[in-house]
Amino acid sequence: MASAASSAFLPALPRPRATSAKPLLRRTSSTVRSPLRVISATAAQPSVAAPAELVESVLSKVNGTDRGVLLSKEGHADVDRLTTDLSKYCVEEPVKNPLIFGEWDVAYCSNPTSPGGGYRSAIGRLIFKTNEMIQIVEAPDVVKNTVSFSLFGSLAGQVSLNGKLKVLSERWIQVVFEAPELKIGSFDFRYGGQSEVKLEITYVDEKIRLGRGSRGSLFVFRRIG
């Protein structure tokens, strides 16, 4: 957490030299504070954004960016900086905090293909228009990921994964998912096999959850339930 700036950054005020001359005015018993010292003390306090302000800044940055796809390089850098600052306010042992449970919208990912695989690749986005990307975390260890989309903008579809959560450390979790289930129109089938992911929880509160994958991808989850 950011701390107040040290007074060593400010030059010391000069002290008056001792002299044998008698003062022209007698000092009263009340102490007169130097206005310059008061101003200096105030200036020594840096402006530090509170967690709530950082949360709103992060959400405003990622809103309307198709979960980060439309962000510029500078925009991604801004999100990374804001989330790094916000992670300094993370509670101890976030994996044990009940705030991790709930329904979450995947609001941002620094790597567009991480949350949706091929469905979120450059070609995949031309075919599958993503409508929602939801993650539900239920006590004690259930994780459900759902990506809903429209095929060529008309035929509704959905990919869902069910997994089990395992705590690895104070911040890290592992989720082992079953084979994904794909629904397109009246068709419903499974494909592929099991998969697993590791995620570090770097911040969580009533509105937002931040995470970093084992390969460094940054995720911003916005609470919706």
Tell me phi and psi for residue 76, to 5 degrees: -60, -40
Asked if pLDDT for residue 36 goes beyond 50, the answer is no
Asked if pLDDT for residue 57 goes beyond 60, the answer is yes
Mean pLDDT score of the chain, rounded to an integer?
81
Q: Find residue 157's DSSP bridge partners.
A: 149, 184
For residue 70, give the amino acid letter: L
Domains belonging to the chain, first-starting first, are: 51-223 (2.40.128.280)
Residues in the chain, total: 225
DSSP state letter for 99: G
Asked if pLDDT for residue 83 goes beyond 60, the answer is yes
**Local confidence band at 149 (pLDDT 50, 70, 90 cut-offs):** confident
